[in-house]
Amino acid sequence: MNIFNQIRKLSEEYRDYTAENLSSLIKIKSLSRQEENVQQELKKQMEESGADEVVIDGLGNVIGRIGNGKKVLAIDGHIDTVDVGNIENWNFNPFSGEIKDGYVHGRGSVDQEGGVASMVTAIRILKEIGIKNDMTVYFVGSVIEEDCDGLCWKYIIEEDKIKPDIVIITEPTNLNIYRGHRGRMEIQISFNGISAHGSAPERGKNAIYMASKAAMEIEKLNERLKYDDFLGKGSVTISEFISGSPSLCAVADYARLHLDRRLTWSETKESAINELESIIKNIDAKINIPYYEEKAFTGLKYGMEKYFPTWKMEENHPVIKSGIKAYKNLYNKMPRIGKWTFSTNGVTINGIYGIPIIGFGPGNEIYAHAPNEKIPVDDLVVASAFYAAYACSV
């Protein structure tokens, strides 16, 4: 039996093991910065799977390791989830972790503890079949991704001093190989007016009117942003409008717009700011990129600017070709190649640090952040096989 047939056979044998591990993770609510209990469970699962070493770092990331060679592969899955939203929209308990009708049910099953459970099984498979002597494989259960994409990997690279040669991102890809996504940034524009009594508005300068005029121009800007054949079009939308005045009988002297800006290929922080500067050039306004800095569950305060660069790998890049090879060796067919709609830790891993990435994850992203989230157990099996096979293909 060749090694890929062995991997596929083991992934099927561990089908229930993978599903039950995922169920255990789902049962523990794990919002960003509140991941401590689920991380202890994940650490236990990695240790039981046979990892050579498992640690929780200063930010709260769980990092398992097998091997101790010079070539370094990391497999990343974030363990934090969003909240459940309106519970009336759910047909089942979001934290039941129920395994039924070929699915594991619950919040985080797709986004993205399913990928995490699959990589735990990959540890078990690789410990059975062995890895190359010159290789180290890290298995990362990362934190705070839902609050601030990539912050976890900024810590891993800069503080833990782990900089892999290749990273597999296990966010949901519907079992396709993904090679990029648009970047994003958050932008605030503050408008400064002059208050006056509401009975004589001509004496003041209304910040709401200033912001509203800019908002109309931002809507037009969205229509003319750049387009990339692979990643698609850039976009901008206003997600929040805040204003203030001395009283409800006064002209507003302050307003602020919060923008969600999605960046396609060749769009950058500088180009996005320049576009907005041209809109507010004759207005008393200021552009600011927010800085995220919050305490992790470990008590550590850590942060980064909320600019998350665009990234993509070329289809003929060696990391993508290795993924295609691994998939074909497992299933004797060509995988589909695509991209994510949303953002991932890749914004830091490749967008800032230039580390090559391949994306492959169980589940369909349409269930991400949605009620009635569930993932096929079949997907978990394929993902666990792929992660092990990739480690044997590079």
Q: What pLDDT, in 10s, does the model give residues 108-161?
A: 999 999 999 999 999 999 999 999 889 999 999 999 999 999 999 999 999 999
Residue 81 and residue 144: Cα distance in Å, rounded?
9
268 within domain boundaries: yes
What would the mean pLDDT of 33-57 be, rounded to a whole number?
98
Amino acid at 204: G
* Close Cβ partners of 315 (under 8 Å, ≥ 6 residues apart): 179, 337
Domain of 267, CATH number, reads 3.30.70.360
Same domain as 128, residue 8: yes
324 within domain boundaries: yes
Same domain as 176, residue 187: no
Report yes or no: 374 and 103 within 8 Å, Cβ to Cβ: yes
Same domain as 174, residue 189: no
Same domain as 80, residue 132: yes
As for how many domains the chain has, the answer is 2
Same domain as 260, residue 345: no
Considering the candidates 145, 253, 365, 373, report the single residue annotated as catalytic: 145
Same domain as 198, residue 174: no
- % of the chain exceeding 90 in pLDDT: 99
Q: Identify the domain boundary among 295, 324, 355.
A: 295
Whether pLDDT at 163 is above 80: yes
Same domain as 190, residue 177: no
What would the mean pLDDT of 176-193 be, rounded to a whole number?
98
304 within domain boundaries: no
| 80 assigned to active site | yes
- Residue 237's CB is within 10 A of a number of other CB atoms, namely 12
151 within domain boundaries: yes
Same domain as 314, residue 282: no
What would the mean pLDDT of 20-33 be, rounded to a whole number?
98
pLDDT at 133: 87
CA distances from 214 to 200, 206, 238, 261 (A): 24, 13, 11, 15
301 within domain boundaries: no
pLDDT at 127: 98
Q: Identify the domain boundary among 295, 320, 342.
A: 295
- The tens digit of pLDDT for each residue in 274-310 reads 999 999 999 999 999 999 999 999 999 999 999 999 9
Dihedral of CA 28/34/40/45: which sign? positive
Report yes or no: 59 and 346 within 8 Å, Cβ to Cβ: no
What would the mean pLDDT of 181-194 be, rounded to a whole number?
98
- The tens digit of pLDDT for each residue in 211-248 reads 999 999 999 999 999 999 999 999 999 999 999 999 99
Same domain as 357, residue 317: yes
Q: Identify the domain boundary among 237, 261, 295.
A: 295
What would the mean pLDDT of 77-99 be, rounded to a whole number?
98
274 within domain boundaries: yes
Can you give the pTM of this predicted structure? 0.96
Same domain as 67, residue 206: no
Same domain as 19, residue 54: yes
Residue 190 exposure: Cα atoms within 13 Å on the Cβ side? 8
User: Which of residues 32 and 1 earns the better pLDDT score?
Assistant: 32
Domain of residue 72: give its range: 3-181+310-391
pLDDT at 222: 98
Residue 65 and residue 389: Cα distance in Å, rounded?
17
The gap from C-alpha 105 to its chain's centroid, in whole angstroms, comes to: 20
Domain of 130, CATH number, reads 3.40.630.10
33 within domain boundaries: yes
pLDDT at 335: 98
Three state DSSP letters for the chain: CCHHHHHHHHHHHCHHHHHHHHHHHHCCCCECCCCHHHHHHHHHHHHHHCCCEEEECCCCCEEEEEECCCEEEEEEEECCECCCCCHHHCCCCCCCCCEECCEEECCCHHHHHHHHHHHHHHHHHHHHHCCCCCEEEEEEEECCCCCCCCHHHHHHHHCCCCCCCEEEECCCCCCCEECEECEEEEEEEEEECECCECCCHHHCECHHHHHHHHHHHHHHHHHCCCEECCCEECEEEEEEEEEECCCCCECCCEEEEEEEEEECCCCCHHHHHHHHHHHCCCCCEEEECCEEEEECCCCCEEEEECEECCEECCCCCHHHHHHHHHHHHHHCCCCCEECCCCCCCHHHHCCCCCCCEEECCCCCHHHCCCCCCEEEHHHHHHHHHHHHHHHCCC
CA distances from 236 to 34, 225, 226, 262 (A): 30, 9, 11, 6
Considering the candidates 80, 146, 253, 379, report the single residue annotated as catalytic: 80
328 within domain boundaries: yes
Same domain as 190, residue 168: no
* Close Cβ partners of 296 (under 8 Å, ≥ 6 residues apart): 33, 58, 59, 60, 143, 144, 302
pLDDT at 132: 86
